[in-house]
Amino acid sequence: MEQLPLWGGKPAAVSRDSIPLLSKSRFLAGLQCHKRLYLECHAPRTLRDPLTAATEALFAAGARVGIVARGLFAGGVRIGEDHIDDAVRKTTALLGQPASRAIYEAAFNHDNVRVRVDILAPAGDGVWDLVEVKSSAGYKEEYLPDIGIQLHVLEGAGVPIRRACLVHVNNQYVYEGGPYVLDQLFTLRDLTPQARDVIPRLLPHLAAMRTPLWAWDPPDIAVGQHCKRPYICPFYSHCHTNRPEHPLESLPRMNQKLLRALREAEIDDIRNIPEDFEGLTDLHKRIRASVITGRVHSDPELKQKLAAVHPPVHFLDFETCNPALPRFAGTRPFQQVPFQWSDHVLRKDGTLDHLEYLHTEETDPREPLVESLVQSLGTEGSIVVYSGFEERIIRSLADEVEEWREDLLAIAGRIVDLLELIRSHYYHPEFRGSFSIKDVLPALIDDLNYDDLEIQEGSQAATAFVEMLDPETSRSRTLDLEHALRAYCYRDTEAMVRLFQKLREDE
């Protein structure tokens, strides 16, 4: 068996003088894909996909959770955003002080891997607890290598570790207002045995992932499911150039067995799939036929179901926030709290009205939102939504706002899901396998999209709402955010109206 080069060795055929240190994040990138790691280390940042608003919102939320979680180990010292060498020196100095305090973002370097530890908590007698903070509601498999590599580095650097722990949000905690009860808001899990067990399995990966870093060209690794697992690769677009016009990834709801069978048959384009290929669903067959012929697939049943929608037709959309750190008393972490709705009303004579609600106070939005919603929707007419999200929100509100329970349940009974109608009965080749309204709309409607809006997706709306309510946000910025939120929610229901009319009128 060929010996893999370690940090000091390199393949003879290449001429790099050195390769970059591996950080914890780079190590985790290498576990996902060696090509991703190579690009992380050597490629210009312009090759990266721009961060989406959803990703930026997740990063910001994670940072807030991390700061609050430090309160579990209060009185500590934060190392800060220093250069890694300076941070290591500061950490070492703090470890040597007799009066030990928790260290936030402690820095270490061992085996040419550098890590920053969320919280290093003193456990007495010169030993420490390694604490990794995650803004999720529980343990995930990908957390173990994260904690394991940190444990390897810290103990290799001579830090005696008593426990390696995970702190995550407890989604059963009910916020009662005021300061958070931290030992209820967070759950601490001792993962020391699992972290120690995983280290021997991580070290061969650590050695192997350094080998391609000496090369001048990235390793030749085919795209696949690993491009999105456990996280979508920041170089996804770069690696997915020169792909077939209708790649297999455009088949929605495809299981691993079917994907593996298609790849083993050397099929990478939907148009090359045999009609009788085992494992295809009716939806897959519909998409295959549509992209082969270039024609729209439309079942006659779609027109019948759209004709059964009776006026006044309400087109309803909610915007919600579900923060990891609950904002309103009586809510839990990650609970969806609606703060805005838009209702376009298509009347029997073809006229179109618009009603809306946006909560702009620093108070729980649910009761005033429900009251205004019930008044707007009344008791007559179908309520068209796009996905099952609105019905889920309405039914949850029926449990949370008892006064309006019966009205809300009656409203839920009038809902028609336009997304499900399209998915079941319609396909356009330009959908590219997606039934998201933001992909369906431009395929069917030429003159309407989201490109002119400041807010273009729900995660941005949730972030904007939180910023709008922040007392430190300027008045002018608050007004801009309010305008942007209204415009975005309006566009969602306007889009539904246009899609509904297009599908109902097309021959």
Which sign, positive or negative, has the C-alpha torsion 18, 24, 27, 29? negative
288 and 347 both lie in a single domain: no
290 and 221 both lie in a single domain: no
210 and 266 both lie in a single domain: no
279 and 325 both lie in a single domain: no
357 and 452 both lie in a single domain: yes
Q: Is 177 exposed, middle or buried (0-12, 13-18, 19+ CB in 10 A)?
A: exposed
The pLDDT of residue 1 is: 34
275 and 420 both lie in a single domain: no
Domain boundary among 198, 220, 240: 240
Cα angle for residues 238, 244, 250 (degrees, 5° grid): 90
Strands 415-417 and 383-385: parallel
The DSSP 8-state label assigned to residue 204 in this structure reads H
CB 340 within 8 A of CB 465: yes
Q: What phi, psi does 277 have (nearest 5°)?
A: -60, 130
180 and 290 both lie in a single domain: no
pTM here is: 0.90
Q: Which domain holds residue 290?
A: 243-295
The pLDDT of residue 15 is: 58
348 and 407 both lie in a single domain: yes
pLDDT tens for each residue of the chain, 507 residues long: 333 344 445 554 555 889 999 999 999 999 999 999 999 999 999 999 999 888 888 898 999 999 999 999 999 999 987 788 999 999 999 998 887 899 999 999 999 999 999 999 999 999 999 999 999 999 999 999 999 999 999 999 999 999 999 999 999 999 999 999 999 999 999 999 999 999 999 999 999 999 999 999 999 998 888 999 999 999 999 998 888 889 988 899 999 899 999 989 999 999 999 999 999 999 999 999 999 999 999 999 999 999 999 999 999 999 999 999 999 999 999 999 999 999 999 999 999 999 999 999 999 999 999 999 999 999 999 999 999 999 999 999 999 999 999 999 999 999 999 999 999 999 999 999 999 999 999 999 999 999 999 999 999 999 999 999 999 999 999 999 999 999 999 999 999 999 999 999 875
341 and 485 both lie in a single domain: yes
For the domain that residue 444 is a member of, what is the CATH number?
Answer: 3.30.420.10
Query: What separation in angstroms does the CA of 184 have from each of 65, 230, 325?
Result: 14, 28, 12
Domain boundary among 295, 322, 337: 295
Q: What phi, psi does 148 have (nearest 5°)?
A: -60, -45
185 and 122 both lie in a single domain: yes
CA pair distance 74, 64, nearest whole angstrom: 16
Cα angle for residues 285, 288, 289 (degrees, 5° grid): 85
For the domain that residue 42 is a member of, what is the CATH number?
Answer: 3.90.320
111 and 230 both lie in a single domain: yes
How many domains, in total, are found in the chain? 3
The DSSP 8-state label assigned to residue 243 in this structure reads -
The DSSP 8-state label assigned to residue 247 in this structure reads B
H-assigned helices in 344-456: 366-377, 389-400, 405-412, 418-425, 437-444
220 and 107 both lie in a single domain: yes
Domain boundary among 194, 214, 240: 240
